[in-house]
Structure 1
Amino acid sequence: MKKFYVTTPIYYVNSEPHIGSAYTTIVADIVARYKRMMGYDVFFLTGTDEHGQKVMQSAELKGISPKEFADELSNKFRVLWEEMGITNDYFVRTTDEQHEKTVQKIVKKLKDNGDIYKGKYEGNYCISCESFFNDDEVILKDGKKLCPDCGKELKWVEEENYFFKLSKYNDALLKLYEENPEFVEPEFRKNEMLSLLKKGLNDISITRTTFNWGIPVPDDPKHVVYVWVDALINYISAIGYEESEKFKKYWPADVHFIGKEINRFHSLIWPAILMAANIELPKKIFAHGWLTVNGEKISKSKGNAVDPRILMNAYGKDAIRYYLLRDITFGRDGDFSEDNLITRYNADLANDLSNLVHRTLSMLDKYFDGIILEPDKIEKVDDELHTLIEKNSKKYFEFMDKYQFTHALEALWEIIRFSNKYIDLTEPWKLGKDESKKDRLSTVMYNLADSIRNISILVSPIMPETSEKILKKLNYNKDHINFENIKNGGLHTGVKISRGEPVFQRLDMEKWEKVIKTNNEIKEEKNNENVIELIEINDFKKVQLKVAKVITAEPIPKSKKLLKLMLNDGSKENRQILAGISKFYKPEDLIGKNIIIVANLKPAKLMGQISNGMLLAAKNGDDLTILTTDKNIEPGSIIS
């Protein structure tokens, strides 16, 4: 069996996953599913990059160890990929023992070969990007040197380092690019790397001594391996370099999918390290563009670092996967526009695909009690449909093999659109009224159902859940998803279909609420928070405010915010309320205080406990103060 090894970059645990980091993972998953459908033995790798100064500093700010910090963030990536239905075969972490041993083995091999030497590094260092920059690369602003990638201020660093002789492999890399013109794609990304090669590469620093959160260099543990060199080696450590059967079976990788910002590391440094270690090179590096959201760069401060769960809960996993590949040309920068997503959802998924399936199965129900009959009377239009399916299936395969996903989906949608047109051309509703044309009607319905079967297989790598739903309606299961089953006339007869509900329902734009807010919408919401809405006296009278004395106060187990208060509010029985004030008050400081509560608030259940009311407090910045009375007053006194 043919093998295929596909990887994503391993994601740095300095921030939580968002739709941008999910993009590469979704693409790799689609390729893995496609290759499995095509009969390949696939190994699909993803994971997290967990060493470096930035992780160490973030952990210190949280008051936890770097390993604890990395464990928490790495798990968020792992759980999200599971929830998204990503079919990776392994999840590698750079803190894995196997990975650390492999990194040390490679570094030792390079040292033994004379490709690593000790020297002193002086240069502009960006802690955020974990990268050094030459003076001609930095941005000068207000007398400060800024990082050309992230814009943060650079730090001048002088330290003893080990260096890798990258310059030694300049000519070998040029030869690689000349002899393998498709080694780096898209072509314009390859040309960027060729430009750097023609200028000449400098040796690079591959260790650090100013912090210790990293993999120690063999025989010189005060040095830790530079996070980017450490990270690159995951592609071989995860499959058991160097003697394991898995490594022998799957290496070299068929494709590394990466973002364009890390192209230099993967397309120049990584192959040079492999050359130095006498390891076969990967077959292809594919560096895609950046994803923006509604025209803006993804960032927490802009509020558009969207959790993919939010999108998938609103539109479904398959709709997001389809949109990312249909509307964004893979390799170039692309924009995730929710408006465009909705347009695609209604036009392509609801109107074209779902409508085709539901119309066809409804007519099968109506005319043949849901039973698929043998085709009988063939006409020219049937041959047109069959020819188009054959031609476009071939185009689909060619485009998928080249990672031209937008073109592949366009080829598939030509089949869907012509199948819808085939209904209009054959007019089954007229054939159904004439008993003498039942043989022609059975042929038309067979061809439509068979077309849908082919479509469901072709669409399966991109929309796996949708594919299985459609196949189930035709009385197939996911075992039918195989390229050998993509052919005209492959539909079983004599079986009963299950129409069910439409696969996609149109979104009603008058009622639909978008889940991504633009900057203007966020600003408008904030402005609305400052607008005071005037109320009538009768509105105020609906709220019953009472004085209550705190009798006991204690924390709620497993809650970081809530305290449980037992109050004397003048009634026969004490009242229990829960309040999120543990950050501001210790339980013992509250006992005996007279506080103000909303007494007629509907009870709520929090952390398994009932809260029967709410206390009043005022917030000033990050501080919070409970409202109390300035004189001793009887509990239960009404505030009016």
Structure 2
Amino acid sequence: MADPFYITTAISYPNGKPHIGHAYEAIAADVIARFQRAQGRDVRLVTGTDEHGLKMVQTARGEGMETRAYADKMSSYFKQMCDDLGVSYDTFVRTTEPRHAAASVALWKALETSGDLYLDRYEGWYSVRDEAFYDESELVDGEGGERLSPQGTPVEWTAEETWFFRLSAYQQRLLDHYRDHPDFIQPDSRRNEVIRFVEGGLKDLSVSRTSFDWGVPVPGSPGHVMYVWVDALTTYMTGVGFPEREGDYDRFWPADIHLIGKDIVRFHAVYWPAFLMSAGLPLPKQVYGHGFLLARGGEKMSKSAGNVVDPMELAERFGVDNLRYFLMREISFGQDGSYSAEAIVARCNAELANSFGNLAQRSLSMVFKNLGGVIPAPGAAEADRALLNKVAAACASLDKEFARLAFAQGLEEWMAAVFACNAYVDEMAPWALRKTDPERMAAVLGTLVAAVRQLAIAVAPLIPSSIERLLAAIEAGANGAAIAQPVPIFPRLELPAEEQPA
């Protein structure tokens, strides 16, 4: 039986429509999932929406809607985004589902059994937008002396009876885990930030609310609902069948990777492992905090700044696979990166349309035109073997880099092989060999098609729809059958005149 591999995205908070940052994370998770499937792993990819909390109540009220109806509407946008972007999730979990409430209650009872929950009164700073509590020492002053969270969001003083989790009791256990499992938090910059935070001391965490009722009810404590992060984090186990301790849960938990934005690393690398330790459950193998996708000019996207971009508008304009390729190629994964329409067009035209797409198109077109569409065997000359060896080495390097989530670096190796293939075409000049040495022409074209096929398979997790069409065209020529007349897989992109660089 194939080895299991379990990856999750963050569970998106749907108080607004998906933005390009949500798409970036979903695409990255899908590339990882497809890559691991190609390696023969039995993969589970879980995503979903985190629909509880005060922010959802307030936003729904502002829209003049019931909270549940608003949650249904907004969650559907996130599911549709995943579907439209080709995200091959296995389970989409909504925190308003009964199965998730059962999982959350089971985790709560395990924390209760461990003696790590107690009832007290909370007074302190709370950010509704972040759904997070902050210590006075973490706050910064905004314009006019307004108190802001480290994320720059408004905070308000909150006082209410709540259940507390004994987070302080897990400080040393967490530090020991970080030491013994250096890859638990990645990249290293995130790991270092979390270690400094935990070393600074942990205070017990408020884990229930009484000021609103939109959430999972706390068992045996009327009027209390679970703090939204207790509920949201449990989603990762809901997605594989928790609280049942068999079947998918037994096979896939603990998760191999929680893929999240860097702004929520604390919740996943401090609170979540402490909850699991308390409950006696295995910890995820890795929490990976990727960087932000920034708008032109390096600004973080936000509704308040008015620079939120609908990813589906970009996908419709440039094509899903072009968008997927650009995001994984342009940005060194784990770091912040920026994008623009001009950059998408430049990158995709240079590498997909002009380089790989042109290589595939002219190789197959020459087979169609000169060999009746029948793909010949690769050549055995030294130059042929050298090219195929170079392609094989580049694809192996791509696999190695993708395995460590270094997508841009892996694609750099892949592009070097594409350039080598194009250089081989120019050097061999099969159009000239057609008259002087038809047999050698066939060997050259066979070598090229073999190289294109291997390059296509290697990059399929990234641009699956385009590669599926390309491989279908090649495989149509199996067993001596003729291929159909090729059509370009990556047409050139164009910017409107008003967006052309000056």
Normalization by structure 1: what TM-score?
Answer: 0.75
Partners of 2:494 and 2:209 in 1: CA distance: 56
1:371 correspondence with 2:374: yes
Aligned to 2:290: 288
- Structure 2 counterpart of 1:462, one-letter code: L
Q: CA 1:343 to 1:197, structure 2 compared with 1: closer, same or farther past 3 Å? A: same
Aligned residue number for residue 275 of structure 1 = 277
Q: Is the 8 A contact 2:395 2:455 kept in 1?
A: no
Distance change (3 Å), C-alpha of 1:294 and 1:213: same
Q: Deviations over 1:368-399 (max 9, x none)?
A: 122112345x3221122022122112111110
Q: Which has the higher contact order (CA 8 A, sep 6+)?
A: 2
Residues 302, 135 of structure 1: CA spacing in aligned structure 2 closer, same or farther, 3 A cutoff? closer
Partner of residue 342, structure 1: 345
Offset, 1:94: 0.7
What residue is the counterpart of 2:226 in the other structure? 225
Match of 2:467 in 1: 467
What's the Cα RMSD here? 1.7
Residues 375 and 439 of structure 1 are in contact (CA less than 8 Å); yes or no, is this contact kept in structure 2? Answer: no
- Which residue, 479, 491, 495 being the options, matches 1:505? 491
Distance 2:71 2:7 in 1: 24
Determine if contact 1:474/1:498 at 8 Å carries over to the other structure.
no
Question: Residues of 2 paired with 1:508 and 1:50: CA distance?
Answer: 39
Aligned to 1:172: 173
Displacement after TM superposition at 1:164 (Å): 0.8
1:365 deviates by 2.1
Q: Which residue of 1 aligns with 2:312?
A: 309
* 3-state SS of 2:317 partner: helix
Match of 1:125 in 2: 126
Deviations 1:587-628 (A, max 9, x none): xxxxxxxxxxxxxxxxxxxxxxxxxxxxxxxxxxxxxxxxxx
1:405 equivalent in structure 2 = 407
Where in structure 2 are the equivalents of 1:353-502 lying within 5 Å? 353-375=356-378, 378-434=380-436, 437-476=437-476, 492=478, 494-502=480-488
CA shift digits 1:406-460 (9 cap, x unpaired): 01111111121111111011111221111xx222111101000001111111111
Matches of 2:499 and 2:185 in 1, distance apart? Answer: 38
Equivalent position amino acid for 1:369 in 2: G
C-alpha displacement of 1:494: 2.1
- CA distance in 2: counterparts of 1:33 and 1:22, whole angstroms: 16
Larger strand share, 1 or 2 = 1
SS of residue paired to 1:47: strand
> 1:158 is matched with which residue?
159
Q: Deviations over 1:58-98 (max 9, x none)?
A: 22222322111111101111122112221111110111111
SS in 2 for 1:86: coil
Q: Which residue matches 2:50?
A: 49
Residue type matched to 2:376 in 1? L
Corresponding residue for residue 185 of structure 1: 186
CA spacing shift, 1:375–1:161, aligned 2, 3 Å: closer
Q: What is the rounded CA distance, in whole Å, between the counterparts of 1:408 and 1:299 in structure 2?
A: 31
Q: Deviations over 1:294-327 (max 9, x none)?
A: 1332133544322112111111100000000000
Greater mean deviation of Cα atoms: 268-277 or 303-312: 303-312
Letter of the 1:364 counterpart: V
Is 1:351 paired with 2:337?
A: no
* Cα distance in 1, alignment partners of residues 301 and 417 from structure 2: 36
- Alpha-carbon distance in 2 for matches of 1:195, 1:35: 33
Q: 1:513 to 1:432 in 2, by over 3 A?
A: farther
* Structure whose CA Rg is larger: 1
Q: Are residues 339 and 405 of structure 1, via their aligned partners in 2, closer, same or farther at CA, if it must alter by over 3 Å?
A: same
Q: Which amino acid aligns with 1:385?
A: L
2: CA distance between counterparts of 1:301 and 1:135?
24
When residues 55 and 371 of structure 1 are mapped into structure 2, their CA distance, relative to the original with a 3 A threshold, is same
What is the letter of the counterpart of residue 252 of structure 2? Y
Taking structure 1 as reference, are residues 503 and 143 closer, same or farther at Cα in structure 2, changes over 3 Å only? closer
Distance 1:375 1:100 in 2: 58
Looking at structure 2, the residues matched to 321 and 106 of structure 1 have their Cα atoms a distance apart, in angstroms, of 36
Aligned counterparts of 2:313 and 2:302: Cα–Cα separation in 1: 16
Give the corresponding residue for 1:98: 99
| Runs of 4+ that moved beyond 4 A | 511-515
The number of residue pairs the alignment matches comes to 497
Unaligned runs of 5+ in 2: none
One-letter identity of the residue aligned with 2:201: G
* Paired residue type of 2:180: E
Following superposition, the deviation at residue 463 of structure 1 comes to: 0.3
Are the counterparts in 2 of residues 129 and 150 from structure 1 also a CA contact under 8 Å? no
Residue pair 2:399, 2:458 contacting (<8 A) in 1 also: no
Matches within 5 A, 1:52-71: 52-71=53-72
* Structure 1 contact 373–493 (Cα < 8 Å) conserved: no
**Conserved 8 A contact 1:170-1:200:** yes
Tell me the equivalent position of 1:89: 90
Q: Which amino acid aligns with 1:496?
A: A
Whether the 8 Å CA contact 1:358–1:499 is kept in 2: the answer is no
Deviation at 1:514, TM superposition (A): 5.2
Q: Deviations over 1:178-233 (max 9, x none)?
A: 11111111011001011112212111111111111111111102111100111000
SS at match of 2:222: strand
2:292 partner letter: W
Output the amino acid matched with 2:279. Answer: A
Question: 3-state SS of the aligned residue for 2:47?
Answer: strand
The 5-angstrom pairing of residues 4-43 of structure 1 reads: 4-43=5-44
Deviation at 1:146, TM superposition (A): 2.1
Alignment deviations for residues 533-560 of structure 1 (CA, whole Å, 9 cap, x no partner): xxxxxxxxxxxxxxxxxxxxxxxxxxxx
- Inter-partner Cα distance in structure 2 for 1:302 and 1:504: 34
Contact 1:228 1:265 in 2 (8 A): yes
- Equivalent residue, structure 2, for 1:201: 202
Could you tell me which amino acid in structure 2 is paired with residue 270 of structure 1? W
Matched, 1:236 2:237: yes
Moved more, 317-326 or 304-313: 304-313
Q: In 2 relative to 1, CA 283–201 (structure 1 residues): closer, same or farther, beyond 3 Å?
A: same
* 1:329 pairs with 2:332: yes
Read off the aligned partner of 1:257 and give its amino acid letter: L
Equivalent AA in structure 1 for residue 70 of structure 2: F
Aligned residue type for 2:454: N
Change (3 A) 1:508 1:207: closer
SS in 1 for 2:426: helix
> For the Cα contact (< 8 Å) 1:374–1:493, is it kept in 2?
no
Q: Distance in 2 between matches of 1:356 and 1:501?
A: 12
2-side partners of 1:175 and 1:512: how far apart? 58
**Inter-partner Cα distance in structure 2 for 1:493 and 1:359:** 22
SS of corresponding position for 2:158: strand
Q: Secondary structure in 2 aligned to 1:121? A: strand
